[in-house]
Amino acid sequence: MKLNLTKPLIIFDLETTGLDIARDSIIQISYIKVGVDGSEKRQNYFINPGKPIPQEVQELTHITNEMVKDAPTFKQLAPELAAEFKDCDFAGYNSNYYDIPLLAEEFLRAGVSFDFTQSRMIDACTIFKQMEKRNLAAAYKFYCGRKMEDDFQAHLADQDTEATYRVLQGQLDMYAPGKQEEEDRQLPNDMDALHTISNPRKNVDFAGRMVWGPLLGPNREPLLNPDGTERMIEYFNFGKYKGWTVRDVLNRDPGYFSWMLSGDFTLETKQALTRIRLREQHFTR
């Protein structure tokens, strides 16, 4: 369907050195500028982030340090992009939560003024979640083929429990390896695998204030266990130390531990932080 536009729309996507808006940088920006008259202009830029691209990002995006070494920096490209994006709306997938904030951050780092408050921001991911509900009733209809209200009274714990049990069985049946050809759509009937799929954020604590991430060596390369898997360590996932290992923060700023223990954090978060602190004290003795 043709878009009903009142001003040009920039549909764009970013590839970056990581997921930390405050610390990471753009390595590729691609956009389609759709005019009010329906015209389409496509553009793609590789960008030199001014620092090495982490190995895991190179493997994920297939964008190597060699590919960006002669590319412009974002600061060099920013005036051209700001002129191209002026008086436009923006659209992306999960863009309101990641791409737009990082793009705004890059403009500020480059010293180029760009006011996103004058743009409308359309997020196809948010629309998808709004239109295709992901609540228990929707899951029951999708996996069990019946309306939940025909079988259960909603919002009673015992009824919701029964419905959830049937949904899980339906998921294992629908995505059984023998029924799905694509490997990424196969769901093994294995509790370890289901646990891993159910916890993609790899939270250390239930509130997600700390997350697991790879332990990096002196050259910022992931360190490996004897079996070849990455060694993991806890990172803070909020505040001024977001992206720092908990170990480094406890050594650098011991008062941060006391601040968190006296702060408005969950008891489980404080318990997890205390456990890490005791472990680190044991290893440094």
Q: How many separate domains does the chain show?
A: 3
| Same domain flag for 187 and 255 | no
> Contact at 8 Å (CB) between 249 and 241?
yes
The residue out of 128, 148, 168 marking a domain boundary is 128
- The mean of the pLDDT values for the chain is 92
The answer to the question of residue 3 being in a domain is: no
Q: Which domain holds residue 71?
A: 9-128
For residues 124 and 13, membership in a common domain is answered with yes
Residue at 31 is within a domain = yes
Task: Assess whether 29 and 83 both reside in one domain.
Answer: yes
Q: Is residue 2 part of a domain?
A: no
Same domain? For 78 and 115 the reply is yes
Share of the chain above pLDDT 90, in %: 74
- Residues 151 and 234 grouped into a single domain: no
Assess contact for 99 and 12: CB atoms under 8 A. yes
Here the contacts of 170-176 (C-beta below 8 Å, separation 24 or greater) are: 170/143, 170/144, 171/143, 174/143
Q: What is the pLDDT of residues 200-235, one digit of tens each?
A: 778 999 888 999 999 998 888 889 999 988 999 999
Q: 245 in a domain, yes or no? A: yes
pLDDT given for residue 156 in this prediction: 86
State whether 208 and 189 are in the same domain.
Answer: no
In a domain, 4, yes or no: no
Residues 214 and 150 in one domain: no
Place of tokens 């919701």: 160
Same domain, 146 and 227: no
User: What is the domain-level CATH number for residue 99?
Assistant: 3.30.420.10
Average pLDDT for residues 36-58, to the nearest whole number? 95
Indicate whether 150 and 222 sit together in one domain: no
Q: What is the pTM of this model?
A: 0.66
- In angstroms, the CA 89 to CA 96 distance is 12
Structural domain includes residue 184: yes
Same domain for 50 and 121?
Answer: yes
The reported pLDDT for the residue numbered 220 is 84
Asked if residue 176 belongs to a domain, the reply is yes
Residues 67, 120: one domain?
yes
Do 28 and 97 have their domain in common? Answer: yes
Residue 27 covered by a domain: yes
Radius of gyration of the chain (CA): 23
